[in-house]
Structure 1
Amino acid sequence: MEDLCNSSMRFFSDQHLCFADIIPPSEVRARIEVAVLNFLRILTSPAPAISDLPLINRKSSNRRVSQGLLTEVSWIFLSHSFCTRSLMRANAAKAFIRVWKVMEMCFQILVQEKRVTQRELFYKLLCDSPDYFTSQLQVNRTIQDVVALLRCSRFSLGIMASSRGLVAGRLLLQEPNEEVVDCSACGSSGHAISGDLNLLEKLILKTDARYIIVVEKHAIFQRLAEDRIFNQIPSILITAKGYPDIATRFLLHRLSRAFPDLPILALVDWNPAGLAILCTFKFGSIGMGLEAYRYACNVKWLGLRGNDLQLIPEQSMVPLKQRDLQIATSLMSSEFLQENYREELAVMVQLGQRVEIEALYFHGYGYLGKYIAKKIVQANYI
């Protein structure tokens, strides 16, 4: 029986395949069919049993950081440690069933040649299986279970990313057989980033920019786009309006591949959350461990930095909140945090203060462009 169990799930246990890639719908459907057939074979064998589902362990203890030899880009990945979902353990039984329910839904989506968002999938599952799905978080975690089982990306499962992201500046975008979009002519609202990763991959991109500037906050992005900073500093502006969504990270990664010589510079608040956002763009996230390599970029921290505090009036500094301290503790325990980032984080905690980008408006609403230009010169990016 043990040999049967081992061989039946061998497809999912190749420890050399510790990543998820984009594969065609037909192959995803085949992998789901293999999982179902193996499950039924074990269930109907002379010594019937219910097999566990072996998943790549997504806990922080299984997290590693790549050490790039041929590139400056590093990213979070998951090593070859497995956990299981089992119907035979009371605390895991519902999670085991959720995996099969989500795989069933994804199979139907692929057969119908559709794409759905995680939110749409949640409401469908809430209606079809209310005893097993009561929250969006359960759906999100189960999707990651299916990714960890089938070793294919969420996009391959027919799940489309919800995007909050915007792009502006010296960038021409063209979907196949569509008109060219000039991102410098989109006003302060910018151009909305599609959640369709397949479309983003197929975009024809052209630019004469010299920099890509990642902006943490929507309001700052609007100010820079309104001031048309990309005419003063030839640049592409991109924002995810806070913590980065997958589509925005994917487009940034796509830009980094299309224009590898353009420095990617991040403008974030001087607080632990700003640094966490920068690190997510730079390394990926533990929740996306199997796919992180697809979204990581060599992002450099332009500002705000500790040496900018002299520009900030004391009354603009705000005490760190408990949430800030929790984020700082999490970052400090991460092996991927480079030493100069660690030093800045320690200064934040020691001072007990945080500073938002808007504090630079003390010098006038038009000061941001001058600040960015000055930081670029100081950092020797020109």
Structure 2
Amino acid sequence: MGSHGAEFFLEVDKLRVQLLNNAEATTACQRVGVEVSHRDILTRIENVILGIVSSLSRDKAPVLAVPNRSSWANVSFDSEVGLQMSSGSSVTTIRSDCPSSVTKFAQILKVLSVIYTLVQSNSYATKRDIYYNNTQLFGSQNTVDVIVDDISCMLKISRRSLHVLATSKGLISGDLRYIEEDGTRINCHSSSTAVPVSSNIGGIRNIVSSAKFVLIVEKDATFQRLLDAEFCTKLSPCIIITGKGVPDVNSRLMVRKLWDTLHIPVFALVDADPHGIEIMCIYKYGSVAMSFEAHSLTVPSVMWLGLLPSDIQRLRVPEDTLIPLTKRDESKLNSLLKRPYFPSQPDWQKEVELMRQSKVKAELQSLAAISPDFLTSVYLPNKLRYGGWV
């Protein structure tokens, strides 16, 4: 690590103490996300079906009330949790007698039936399995994805508790070993290739790691570059993970699992553009669509390591590698500044304002214009040793 190793470990140890203190403060929040019993899950599904039967017995068209997962009006912000669905959220009514919603009504009942059978038999299925169970009814995989999340929100039960798994798209590597629920031993540092993020995060046990920090990497290309440079061994024991862009639920669950278990700093390495900033916000504070499960998905301690808009000026990144902001980019920046968590992040506000004023954005790859290995040999080591995150 060179002569500056002591400073790096000192900073990380300070953060570690803060995280341990924060972990004690958020224990009560974590309890909210504990799994419910099989009997309770079955009872909640039965209550939905009983409501439908009751309506039919009174010659009324059955309806389903699904919480609206796309409205900012339905979420509140808590700095220790992130975006969470409000108790009095508005709902979308799915009617069985309306041509525009009867198909979705049937799709929800079908998925509820599958989930009931899975829980009852204590077995699991992927969302893809459910789709192929009746492709004609669902029409597309995305339909199943949305309905499973709607049901999870409606029943107030996590997707894992519903015994529905999703194929992970994320990758993880570094100083980390654990055992899968089926007994498979995983060593994320045993080869130069990354390990796919588990599709059953809740079943992971016996996590062993000497990592000093977790680094969330926005893009697969940057993640692969860190792998090729043997970043996790040359700088410091660490864990790197990517959701390959907008993260899937399993990648977010894995970051949260590592944070809960290891109590080490978590940094985000994203492009200096509106899209990258939003991805970091999803890991840190969550999304509107999944706000009902915020307690198990968000990591409020995530720190923005880079690429910062201020880094572009400070490092004098060559102008020919910078990209002008589009109207859509400007709209996204304005939207970000209105998010309920931005007032608590003055340094973030400054960075976003700087991007608005400069009217340019930059990808992490632009650092290669300074020197081919600038990211891994200079930028990240200096950031982690001397600070520079927000």
TM-score range, shorter chain: 0.7 to 0.9
After superposition, the C-alpha distances for 1:97-126 in whole angstroms (9 at most, x for unaligned) are: 332222122223334544233233223232
The question of whether the paired residues in 2 share the 8 Å contact of 1:163 and 1:193 is answered with: yes
With a CA cutoff of 8 Å and minimum separation of 6, indicate the structure with the bigger relative contact order: 2
The question of whether the paired residues in 2 share the 8 Å contact of 1:233 and 1:373 is answered with: no
Residue 358 (structure 1) shift:
1.0
Q: Find the partner of 1:173 among 178, 202, 206.
A: 178
Q: Find the partner of 1:195 among 192, 199, 202.
A: 199
Instruction: Give distance in 1, aligned partners of 2:135 and 2:34.
Output: 28
Specify the SS of the correspondent of 1:109.
Answer: helix
Residue of structure 2 equivalent to 1:78: 85
The question of whether the paired residues in 1 share the 8 Å contact of 2:215 and 2:267 is answered with: yes
Worse-matched range after superposition: 229-238 or 22-31: 22-31
Distance 1:120 1:325, change over 3 A: farther
Residue 291 (structure 1) shift:
0.7
The question of whether the paired residues in 1 share the 8 Å contact of 2:309 and 2:352 is answered with: no
Residue of structure 1 equivalent to 2:18: none
TM-score (norm 1): 0.83
Worse-matched range after superposition: 137-146 or 189-198: 137-146
Instruction: Give distance in 2, aligned partners of 1:116 and 1:320.
Output: 43
Is residue 2:168 matched to residue 1:163?
yes
After superposition, the C-alpha distances for 1:308-349 in whole angstroms (9 at most, x for unaligned) are: 113211111012245433432432332122332233223223
Residue of structure 1 equivalent to 2:330: 325
The question of whether the paired residues in 2 share the 8 Å contact of 1:20 and 1:151 is answered with: no
Instruction: Could you tell me which runs of 5 or more consecutive residues in structure 2 were left unpaired when the two chains were aligned.
Output: 1-31
Specify the SS of the correspondent of 1:204.
Answer: strand
Which residue identity lines up with residue 270 of structure 1 in the other structure?
A
Specify the SS of the correspondent of 2:292.
Answer: coil
Residue of structure 2 equivalent to 1:50: 61
The question of whether the paired residues in 1 share the 8 Å contact of 2:256 and 2:298 is answered with: yes
TM-score (norm 2): 0.82
Is residue 2:255 matched to residue 1:252?
yes
The question of whether the paired residues in 1 share the 8 Å contact of 2:310 and 2:354 is answered with: no
Residue of structure 2 equivalent to 1:226: 228
Worse-matched range after superposition: 360-369 or 286-295: 360-369
Q: Find the partner of 2:75 among 63, 81, 90.
A: 63
Instruction: Could you tell me which runs of 5 or more consecutive residues in structure 1 were left unpaired when the two chains were aligned.
Output: 1-18, 69-73
Residue of structure 2 equivalent to 1:139: 144
Residue 164 (structure 1) shift:
1.2
1:1-382 matches, cutoff 5 A: 22-44=35-57, 47-58=58-69, 59-68=71-80, 74-79=81-86, 80-83=88-91, 84-127=93-136, 129=137, 133-175=138-180, 178=183, 180-187=185-192, 189-199=193-203, 202-231=204-233, 232-260=235-263, 262-297=264-299, 298-310=301-313, 311=315, 312-337=317-342, 338-369=345-376, 370-379=378-387
Distance 1:307 1:347, change over 3 A: closer
The question of whether the paired residues in 2 share the 8 Å contact of 1:176 and 1:204 is answered with: no
Residue 30 (structure 1) shift:
2.5
Residue 375 (structure 1) shift:
1.2
After superposition, the C-alpha distances for 1:170-199 in whole angstroms (9 at most, x for unaligned) are: 122233684643322220x21111112332
The question of whether the paired residues in 2 share the 8 Å contact of 1:20 and 1:147 is answered with: no
Which residue identity lines up with residue 386 of structure 2 in the other structure?
Q
The question of whether the paired residues in 1 share the 8 Å contact of 2:246 and 2:279 is answered with: yes
Residue 152 (structure 1) shift:
0.9
After superposition, the C-alpha distances for 1:192-226 in whole angstroms (9 at most, x for unaligned) are: 11112332xx3211111211111111121111122
The question of whether the paired residues in 1 share the 8 Å contact of 2:178 and 2:205 is answered with: yes
Specify the SS of the correspondent of 1:184.
Answer: coil
Question: In angstroms, what is the RMSD of aligned CA positions?
Answer: 2.4
Instruction: Give distance in 2, aligned partners of 1:331 and 1:363.
Output: 30
Specify the SS of the correspondent of 2:271.
Answer: coil
Residue 88 (structure 1) shift:
4.4
Instruction: Give distance in 2, aligned partners of 1:147 and 1:171.
Output: 30
Worse-matched range after superposition: 367-376 or 317-326: 317-326
Worse-matched range after superposition: 315-324 or 350-359: 315-324
